[in-house]
Each structure stands twice: as C-alpha cells, then as structure tokens.
C-alpha cells in the first residue's frame, strides 16, 4: 500500500473511528485501526464487535492494500506529526509514515486477523434528516442506564412506524420519550440501539447531512456522508413504557425552565457531597411558587420562583440530576410539570409540544 494525503485528513479519519476501539482488554487485533486503500479511497475501520465505525477519505493511491495499526499509538503519532503532506507506505504488516524529510515506522498487525465487518444489503433503506435525529437523541439519551446488568436499559428503543418515529430511553428511575414525523416514509423498524452507538451518531453527524438506516433482524447500519456506523441490536424485550406514563395529575405547574434549572443547580451544590451521594434537592410547590430551602453542613440556600399553579400543594425530593438533565434539553422557555403528590412520578413537558415527554420518580425519604 502506498498513499499520499494530508495530516489533517488523516487525523479526521483516525478521530472518526477511534471510539469503536474497545477500551477493555479483548482480542489484540481489535486494539487496531484498519486502513484499506482501494479505488482512490482510504478506508479507516475500527470495531469492538458490537459497534463498528468506518469512514473513507479521498486520497491519492499509488499502491492498493491494507494494514492494521495499533490505535492508541497510531492516533498519538498522527496527532504529533507536523502539519504537512504525508506519504504512507506499508511493507508486510508494518507502515512507514514519511513527512518532510523524516520517517516514522510503526509495527502493525496481520490484516487477515481483523474481523470482517459484514454489509447489510437493504434495497429500501429509511432516509431521514440528520438534524431531526440528532435532536431526538439529545432529548432522550441521558435517561439510559449505565449499569449493564439489564442490557435493554442501556439502549434506546427506536420505533419507526411508517411516517412516525419514536425514541425512548429509561433506566427504570426515569423515562424520556420523543416522537417526530418522517414525511413520506413507508418502512417500519423496531429495535434497541446501544446508547454508545447513539452517542457516536450524535458526535459524528452533521446537521446538514442525510441519514440512511439499513437494517436486518440483528444489526443496523447508519450511513451519512463518508461515515458508516454498524451496530448490533440489543436483544430482549423493551418493557411496555406506556404503562408508566401517568394519565392524570393532581397538580399542574408552569415554570420558567432556565430559572428552575439555575436554582436546582445552585441548591445541588450543597447536597452533592453529602454522605448518601444522592445529590438530593427538596422543594415545595405552594401558593404559586416553587420554594427551595436547602441546608447542609456547608451552608444554606433559600430561593423562590414564581410559577403558575393549578391543583394542590406538595413537597417533593429529587436527585438533582434528574431535573437538570431534562431542563437542559427542553427547548421552550416555559416547562410544564405534572405531579401527583410526593411519591408519584413527575412529568415534564415543553409548552405546546406533545412530541416530548420526560418523567422521573422522586426520592422516597
């Protein structure tokens, strides 16, 4: 293999695929990034066998071929190279990077050992605008579970039913739901996409691009620009999320989202390091105001926010993160909160927008 390209292009390729390189110790070959030069394209590939990312760059190719280089070392080298044109020449499993009048030789792996990332051939893929999908990911992904004991909760349920698209995430303590419309779509898809994959899509997707989704029973491929993200679907049944959404409430309030977010963030400063590590924020809703009186060994905060209130007063405790996470992604100035006492889930919605809903359970003191 012999190619010519700029250091900047090379860095883009490495940065794009590097997150698919497993961080835990697995097969040594998976610690590598595969470079494949063919048809005037230089392909970069990395996989942890669950998530695979590949992308290509248009380069000048003098000799086709492929090579696998250790990802960590290789990315460090590329980052530290001077900003100049590079000539990359492979010799057996090893690579020589020529820059200015210098040369860096890297020992690689046998490319034959690198797992083949199987294609998904779909004649009729789902096509949707990137900006829409990015927004949907942003509004839901934070509600996924980090704990891997129940894999279904570490992913987001993507349900495309003709023109309707839904994205749902829950860690059983809270749930985020968003829906939108893909005009003219006739296809259907339902599967649990790992949060890690969604994170990568969010990171790499440009708002102006068009996203294409190809799928089979166990895997999905997301294509945009010169990037392809392939992922295995999480197996298992996503629980019936509709049953947890309360159909009525005792109190409905309308609050300025930014003011409430700032107040909760200030109050959580006093509870962040308490011995329970619950980051609890306790507030009362009474006489058309949210009242926070929080104190700890470190200090005391008293704040009051004017709200519009319908229904009974109540006092409630939350993990502050459960409130701040959602207030950061709701786009409207005013936020609706629907509650039924101190122990039932509270629903957060943007004003005049039924497409988004978030609910969280309060802490039981």
Residue 170 or 309 having the CB closest to other proteins: 170
Distance separating alpha carbons of residues 362 and 365, to the nearest angstrom: 9
Q: Are 209 and 133 in contact (CB under 8 A)?
A: no
Least CB distance to other proteins at residue 292 (A): 21
Distance separating alpha carbons of residues 222 and 196, to the nearest angstrom: 13
Least CB distance to other proteins at residue 358 (A): 12
Residue 23 or 248 having the CB closest to other proteins: 248
Number of neighbours of residue 319 by Cβ within 10 angstroms: 20
Find how far residue 261's CA is from the centre of its chain.
22
Find how far residue 256's CA is from the centre of its chain.
27
Decide: helix, strand or coil at residue 113. Answer: helix
Least CB distance to other proteins at residue 265 (A): 21
Q: Are 204 and 319 in contact (CB under 8 A)?
A: no
Least CB distance to other proteins at residue 13 (A): 42
Q: Are 133 and 224 in contact (CB under 8 A)?
A: no
Least CB distance to other proteins at residue 244 (A): 4
Residue 140 or 170 having the CB closest to other proteins: 170
Q: Are 326 and 348 in contact (CB under 8 A)?
A: yes
Least CB distance to other proteins at residue 119 (A): 35
Least CB distance to other proteins at residue 154 (A): 14
Enumerate binding residues for other proteins (CB under 8 A).
Answer: 150, 170, 172-175, 239, 243-244, 246, 319, 344-345, 359, 361-364
């089979």: which residue's tokens? 216
Give the C-alpha distances (Å, rounded to integers) separating 220 from 84, 125, 227, 360: 37, 11, 14, 30
Residue 172 or 287 having the CB closest to other proteins: 172
Distance separating alpha carbons of residues 225 and 203, to the nearest angstrom: 13
Residue 300 or 364 having the CB closest to other proteins: 364
Give the C-alpha distances (Å, rounded to integers) separating 333 from 178, 336, 350: 18, 10, 8
Residue 113 or 147 having the CB closest to other proteins: 147
For residue 28, give the nearest of 113, 93, 94, 107 by alpha carbon.
113
Least CB distance to other proteins at residue 245 (A): 8
> Kindly report the CA angle at 136 between 253 and 212, in degrees rounded to 5?
165
Residue 25 or 243 having the CB closest to other proteins: 243
Residue 24 or 364 having the CB closest to other proteins: 364
Distance separating alpha carbons of residues 226 and 198, to the nearest angstrom: 17
Least CB distance to other proteins at residue 155 (A): 15
CB within 8 A of 163, min separation 6: which ones?
181, 182, 183, 184, 185
Q: Are 139 and 174 in contact (CB under 8 A)?
A: no
Residue 9 or 171 having the CB closest to other proteins: 171
């Amino acid at each position: 293999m012999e190619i010519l390209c700029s250091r900047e292009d090379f860095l883009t390729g490495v940065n794009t695929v590097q997150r698919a390189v497993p961080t835990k110790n697995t097969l040594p070959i998976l610690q590598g990034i595969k470079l494949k030069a063919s048809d005037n394209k230089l392909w970069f590939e990395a996989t942890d066998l669950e998530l695979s990312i590949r992308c290509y760059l248009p380069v000048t190719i003098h000799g086709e071929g492929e090579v696998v280089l250790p990802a960590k070392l290789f990315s460090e080298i590329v980052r530290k190279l001077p900003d100049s044109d590079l000539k990359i020449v492979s010799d057996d499993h090893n690579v020589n990077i020529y820059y200015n009048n210098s040369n860096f030789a890297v020992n690689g792996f046998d490319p034959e050992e690198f797992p083949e990332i199987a294609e998904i051939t779909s004649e009729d893929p789902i096509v949707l605008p990137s900006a829409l999908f990015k927004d949907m990911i942003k509004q839901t992904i934070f509600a996924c579970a980090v704990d891997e004991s129940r894999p279904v909760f570490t992913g987001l349920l993507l349900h495309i039913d003709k023109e309707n698209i839904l994205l749902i995430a829950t860690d059983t303590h809270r749930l985020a739901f968003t829906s939108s419309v893909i005009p003219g779509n006739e296809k259907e898809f339902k599967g649990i996409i790992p949060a890690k994959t969604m994170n990568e899509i969010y990171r790499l997707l440009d708002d102006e691009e068009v996203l294409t989704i190809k799928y089979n029973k166990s895997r999905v491929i997301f294509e945009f620009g010169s990037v392809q993200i392939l992922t295995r679907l999480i197996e298992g049944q996503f629980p019936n999320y509709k049953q947890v959404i309360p159909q009525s409430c005792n109190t409905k309030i309308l609050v300025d989202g930014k003011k409430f977010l700032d107040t909760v963030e200030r109050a959580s400063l006093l509870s962040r390091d308490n011995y329970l590590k619950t980051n609890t924020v306790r507030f009362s809703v009474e006489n058309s105001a949210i009242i926070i009186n929080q104190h700890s060994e470190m200090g005391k905060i008293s704040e009051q926010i004017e709200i519009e209130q319908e229904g009974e007063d109540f006092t409630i405790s939350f993990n502050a993160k459960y409130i701040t996470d959602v207030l950061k992604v709701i786009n409207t100035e005013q936020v609706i909160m629907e509650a039924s006492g101190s122990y039932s889930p509270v629903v957060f919605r943007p004003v005049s927008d039924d497409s988004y809903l978030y609910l969280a359970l309060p802490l039981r003191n």
